[in-house]
């Protein structure tokens, strides 16, 4: 008798992804799919994919997914959720999408207390367009537009979006996690599940910020990228529940 020790979630298509080796997006995609399977909501989910490396998430997800212009994801999700309140609506956004071009959409959706869930993938760079500095890039981090490292005087402080959103009255649940180790991956899954459950209970805006790796544009091995999250990035973006 063979025992099943690995099974693809039903919410995941049988497809190879285009992600670089060591990228966190594939892990986070899978966690979202596992949670959707476990909650039995595959037929009820509507995802809004971002512009960014995850732009073709609909090729990997086996549930209804639509697309929004760069940064407009929470606005599109707001419209969908208001028209279909019985659906479970979530956005999946990078830090360029959410913390740069879409800062206004994100903050106002949270402030209105929209009953949607945001999965915020913070890899500290604009991955899709070639590794430029994002608002979330940490001080000293080299990117293709900060060759000598992010300079505080010139570029300002790393933007702590989760802390900002946590003070808004409309925000119900905000947690920051990481995918740099098996332990943190399991924590991320629990946080994503909680965020969906909050929406299912009609409690309002939920967001999980996931610290993720971009070995290609960090110029590091996948292993060193995980270490960097634990050693450097978590100092700027501490993990934990910020609200809820």
Ligand X SMILES: Cc1ncc(C[n+]2csc(CCOP(=O)(O)OP(=O)(O)O)c2C)c(N)n1
Q: Could you list the residues that contact ligand X (CB under 6 A)?
A: 50-54, 70, 94-97, 101, 121, 123, 125-129, 134
Phi first, then psi: give them for residue 69, nearest 5 degrees: -65, 160
In the complex with ligand X, which residue's Cβ is closer, 95 or 105? 95
d(CA 21, CA 9): 21
Cβ at position 204, least distance to ligand X in Å: 24
CB count within 10 Å of CB 130 equals 12
Cβ at position 91, least distance to ligand X in Å: 12
d(CA 71, CA 69): 6
Q: Which residue is nearest to ligand X (CB)?
A: 94
In the complex with ligand X, which residue's Cβ is closer, 9 or 96? 96
In the complex with ligand X, which residue's Cβ is closer, 41 or 236? 236
In the complex with ligand X, which residue's Cβ is closer, 41 or 101? 101
| Six-digit token string for 130 | 């070639």
Spell out the SS3 assignment of 72-136. Answer: CHHHHHHHHHHHCCCCEEEEEEEHHHHHHHCHHHHHHHHHCCCCCEEEEEECCEECCCCCEECCC
Neighbouring residues of 216: CB distance < 8 A, sequence distance ≥ 6: 20, 23, 127, 131
In the complex with ligand X, which residue's Cβ is closer, 11 or 212? 212
């Amino acid at each position: 008798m063979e025992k099943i020790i690995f099974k693809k979630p039903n919410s995941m298509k049988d497809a190879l992804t285009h992600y670089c080796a060591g990228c966190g997006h594939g892990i986070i995609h899978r966690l979202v799919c596992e949670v959707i399977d476990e909650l039995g909501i595959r037929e009820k989910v509507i995802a809004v994919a971002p512009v960014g490396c995850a732009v073709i998430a609909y090729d990997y997800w086996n549930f209804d997914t639509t697309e929004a212009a760069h940064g407009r994801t929470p606005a599109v999700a707001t419209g969908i959720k208001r028209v279909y309140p019985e659906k479970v609506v979530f956005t999946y956004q990078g830090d360029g999408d959410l913390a740069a071009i879409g800062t206004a959409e994100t903050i106002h959706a949270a402030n209105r207390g929209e009953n949607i869930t945001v999965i915020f993938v913070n890899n500290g760079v604009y991955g899709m367009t070639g590794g430029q500095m994002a608002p979330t890039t940490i001080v000293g981090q080299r990117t293709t537009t900060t060759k000598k490292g992010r300079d505080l005087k010139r570029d300002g402080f790393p933007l702590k979006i989760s802390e900002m959103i946590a003070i808004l009255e409309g925000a119900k649940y905000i947690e920051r996690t990481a995918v740099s180790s098996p332990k943190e991956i399991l924590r991320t899954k629990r946080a994503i599940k909680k965020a969906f459950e909050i929406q299912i209970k009609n409690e309002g805006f939920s967001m999980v910020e996931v610290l993720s790796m971009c070995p290609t544009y960090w110029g590091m091995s996948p292993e060193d990228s995980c270490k960097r999250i634990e050693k450097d990035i978590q100092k700027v973006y501490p993990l934990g529940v910020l609200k809820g």
